[in-house]
């Protein structure tokens, strides 16, 4: 502000809302002490209240500096500088404030404009991001000015006697802040500890639940193994008895009796397969399945398989083909289990291939492995079902095959057996065109 | 620090009297506004009389809250009267450019009570109604 010299009388920091009241009180008393009349005291107090509130609202913290202003030889007044390091005011808005045309969108738009009207001098300096500094001055009437000019020291002392405006007060205030922050920290730490305790507790509960689950799972496996074992013995007896009938050792059967016995035989066979599947699955699950690995020729195995599956293929008029290269090396595998894998895949292929179709078994060397493929011209598998087709009981979940007999354990066991050999199984399929299951088995070294 | 000053709220008949005797910090002002509304609901009072004769400064914030109280009270079917504004405060308010929108102002508590009474047609059978809370409150507790 031009032509004005100022003598600093004191600072008041603005840190909290209550400081607004303190500033008002302090400024009011200083104004009275300087000799302003009652109405002007109130005007100054109101103006400083607006300025202080702006500091608190927009910048959270700042300071009010009170000075004795002098101009020329006679004039004296109270200068108040309100400054903060807040977000500042952008230029366009600042200009409209200076022109007096600004309306605050938040309040009644009176803060700065009103302050300007209440005071004699008004200056604002602000840049977006660099804080704001508002300087206002109220001049004393000439009768009081002269005395005020000579009282700068006295006025400074007057302000300083306000005990809590000193540097000491500022220190002790910061101290209080610190204590408060420490308290908050302590509180946070306690909360953290509490959360930690709760986490530990739920962790323990989880562990317990986990252990319980494992126990239950083991019990289930054990139960499955026991029951299937117990089921197998009577089934073997029934199967033996049926053999007596079919072998003719109990005399000739009438054609109706023969039909019935055949039905019994078929169903018993299904049951035995089912029980075997369950038993295998539970062995695989519990990790007690052992491989009895030997060097095996695939051709012989396929021949055997062909003999076994031919009747079923013939019944459905399906061409069962195979293509095993002469030079194919022997495989290292558990013969019974590899056979099981092939039986599962081929019988699946036959099951899902309509009359007149084709099922083809082929093999080819692939590095240290041999890839065996079973391709059919069957119904194919929808893409949705492909991803979990090797999962346990997948068949039960799939709509497409639910009507077919079987536990859905077949492919699960197949995959487990292939993987037990160190191989991999995969499937490609197109609905309506057919599926190709292929797996790898290591060659005998 | 942030401790709130208590401003009393007295119920006299169907009027709430709020004598403000100290410079209030913002929290106290906001809290007072809430308490006035709560009391209005609790007591079913029809008028609010805010005595600011001892208040030496009304800035834009307090002015806005006074306007707000009046508007909110009106929605709750009560009328607000601000009494006893000091001339210097009035001058400052005008220079500040603040209108106490929706707030009726009268010179003193007597006038205020009279205004509110005439508004609701309450019998004016009390005598010597003074501006000081305690005695007053007892006095008008008759129906």
Domain boundary assignment for chain B:
10-123
The answer to whether residue A311 scores a pLDDT higher than 90 is: no
Interchain proximity B88–A24, CB inside 8 Å: no
Would you state the pLDDT for residue B132?
Answer: 44
Q: Which residues of B touch A53 (CB under 8 A)?
A: 26, 59-61
Interchain proximity A110–B1, CB inside 8 Å: no
Q: Which residues of A touch B1 (CB under 8 A)?
A: 16, 18, 176
Interchain proximity A110–B92, CB inside 8 Å: no
Parallel, antiparallel, or unpaired for β A434-442 and A369-376? antiparallel
Confidence of residue B129 (pLDDT cuts 50, 70, 90): very low
Q: What is the average per-residue pLDDT within A336-362? A: 90
Interchain proximity B92–A42, CB inside 8 Å: yes
Mutate to test the interface with B, among A110, A111, A164, A172 (most CBs of B within 10 A): A110
pTM: 0.48
Highest mean pLDDT: which range of A6-10, A182-186, A203-207, B116-120: A203-207
CA distance A318 to A312: 9
Interchain proximity B60–A107, CB inside 8 Å: yes
Domain B10-123 has CATH 3.30.750.24: yes
Q: Which residues of B touch A108 (CB under 8 A)?
A: 60, 63-64, 97-98
ipTM of the complex, rounded to two decimals: 0.74
Would you state the pLDDT for residue B8?
Answer: 87
Would you state the pLDDT for residue A378?
Answer: 87
Confidence of residue A404 (pLDDT cuts 50, 70, 90): low
- Which three-class secondary structure state does DSSP give residue B54? coil
Is residue A314 packed enough to be buried (19+ CB in 10 Å), middle (13-18) or exposed (0-12)? Answer: exposed
Interchain proximity A42–B56, CB inside 8 Å: yes
The 10 Å Cβ neighbour count of residue A69 is 24
**Tens digits of residue pLDDT in B61-90:** 888 899 999 999 999 889 999 999 988 899
The residue that leads in pLDDT, A394 or A145, is: A145
Interchain proximity B2–A18, CB inside 8 Å: yes
Q: Which of A92-106, A141-155, A380-394 has the lowest mean pLDDT?
A: A92-106
Q: What is the average per-residue pLDDT within A347-376? A: 91
Would you state the pLDDT for residue A205?
Answer: 94
Q: Which of A76-80, A146-150, A158-162, A244-248 has the lowest mean pLDDT?
A: A158-162
Cα within 13 Å of Cα(B11), Cβ side: 17
CA distance A379 to A399: 13
CA distance A360 to A382: 21
Q: What is the average per-residue pLDDT within A261-276? A: 86
CA distance B24 to chain A (A): 7
CA distance A325 to A371: 12
Q: What is the average per-residue pLDDT within B16-38? A: 89
Would you state the pLDDT for residue A400?
Answer: 52
Q: Which residues of B touch A18 (CB under 8 A)?
A: 1-2, 25, 27
Would you state the pLDDT for residue B127?
Answer: 39
- Phi/psi for A73 (5° steps) reads -95, -15
User: Which two tokens mark A342?
Assistant: 């092939």
Interchain proximity B88–A46, CB inside 8 Å: no
Task: List the single residue in B with minimal CA-CA distance to A56.
Answer: B26
* A135 torsion bin: left (phi>0), alpha (psi -120 to 50), beta (else): beta
Q: Which residues of A touch B97 (CB under 8 A)?
A: 108, 110, 113-114, 117
Instruction: Out of B23, B88, B97, name the one closest to residue A113 (CB).
Output: B97
Q: What is the average per-residue pLDDT within B35-44? A: 91
The answer to whether residue A98 scores a pLDDT higher than 70 is: no
Mutate to test the interface with B, among A18, A29, A43, A46 (most CBs of B within 10 A): A46
Would you state the pLDDT for residue A252?
Answer: 83
The answer to whether residue A5 scores a pLDDT higher than 70 is: yes
Would you state the pLDDT for residue B5?
Answer: 63
**Could you tell me where the DSSP H helices lie in A316-356?**
335-351
Task: Please name every residue paired with A6 in a beta bridge, in sequence order, or none if there are none.
Answer: A69
Asked whether B68 and B34 are in contact (CB, 8 A), the reply is: no
Confidence of residue A407 (pLDDT cuts 50, 70, 90): low
- Separate counts of helices (H) and strands (E) for chain B: 5, 5
């Amino acid at each position: 502000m031009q032509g004005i010299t100022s003598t600093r009388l004191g600072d008041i920091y603005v840190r909290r809302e209550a400081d607004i009241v303190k500033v008002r009180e302090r400024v009011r008393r200083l104004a009275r002490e300087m000799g302003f009349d009652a109405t002007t005291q109130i005007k100054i107090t109101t103006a400083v209240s607006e300025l202080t509130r702006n500091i608190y609202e927009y910048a959270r913290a700042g300071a009010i500096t009170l000075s004795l202003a002098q101009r020329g030889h006679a004039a004296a007044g109270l200068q108040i500088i309100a400054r903060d390091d807040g977000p500042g005011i952008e230029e366009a808005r600042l200009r409209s404030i200076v022109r007096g045309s600004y309306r605050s969108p938040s309040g009644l738009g009176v803060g700065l404009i009103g302050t300007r009207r209440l005071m004699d001098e008004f200056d604002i300096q602000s840049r977006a991001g660099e804080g704001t500094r508002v300087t206002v001055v109220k001049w004393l009437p000439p009768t009081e000015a002269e005395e005020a000019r000579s009282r700068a020291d006295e006025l400074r002392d007057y302000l300083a006697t306000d005990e809590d405006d000193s540097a000491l007060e500022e220190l002790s205030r910061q101290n209080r802040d610190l204590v408060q922050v420490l308290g908050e920290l302590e509180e946070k730490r306690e909360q953290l500890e509490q959360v930690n305790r709760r986490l530990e507790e739920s962790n323990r509960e989880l562990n317990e639940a986990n252990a319980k689950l494992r126990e239950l799972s083991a019990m289930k496996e054990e139960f499955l193994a026991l029951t299937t074992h117990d089921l197998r013995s009577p089934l073997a007896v029934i199967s033996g008895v049926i053999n007596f009938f079919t072998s003719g050792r109990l005399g000739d059967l009438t054609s109706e009796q023969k039909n019935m016995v055949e039905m019994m035989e078929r169903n018993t066979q299904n049951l035995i397969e089912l029980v075997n599947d369950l038993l295998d699955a539970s062995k695989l699950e519990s990790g007690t399945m052992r491989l009895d690995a030997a060097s095996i020729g695939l051709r012989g195995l396929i021949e055997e398989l062909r003999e076994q599956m031919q009747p079923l293929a013939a019944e459905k008029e399906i061409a069962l083909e195979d293509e095993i290269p002469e030079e194919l090396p022997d495989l290292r595998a558990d013969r019974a289990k590899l056979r099981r894998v092939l039986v599962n895949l081929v019988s699946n292929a036959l099951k899902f291939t309509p009359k007149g179709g084709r099922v083809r078994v082929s093999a080819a060397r692939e590095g240290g492995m041999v890839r065996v493929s079973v391709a059919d011209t069957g119904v194919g598998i929808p893409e949705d079902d492909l991803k979990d087709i090797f999962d346990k009981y997948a068949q039960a979940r799939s709509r497409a095959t639910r009507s077919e007999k079987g536990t859905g354990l077949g492919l699960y066991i197949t995959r487990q057996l292939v993987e037990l050999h160190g191989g991999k199984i995969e499937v490609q399929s197109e609905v309506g065109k057919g599926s190709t299951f292929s797996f790898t088995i290591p060659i005998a070294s | 620090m942030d401790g709130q000053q208590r401003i009393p709220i007295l119920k006299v008949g169907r009027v709430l009297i709020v004598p403000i005797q100290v410079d209030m910090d913002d929290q106290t002002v906001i809290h007072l506004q809430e308490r006035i509304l709560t009391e209005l609901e609790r007591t079913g009072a029809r008028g609010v009389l805010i005595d600011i004769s001892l208040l030496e400064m009304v800035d834009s914030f307090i002015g806005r809250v006074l306007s707000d109280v009046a508007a909110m009270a009106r929605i709750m079917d009560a009328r607000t009267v601000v009494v006893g504004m000091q001339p210097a405060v009035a001058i400052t308010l005008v220079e500040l450019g603040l209108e106490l929108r929706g707030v009726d102002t009268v010179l003193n508590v007597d006038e205020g009570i009279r205004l509110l009474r005439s508004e609701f047609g309450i019998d004016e059978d009390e005598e010597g109604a003074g501006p000081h809370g305690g005695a007053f409150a007892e006095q008008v507790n008759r129906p």
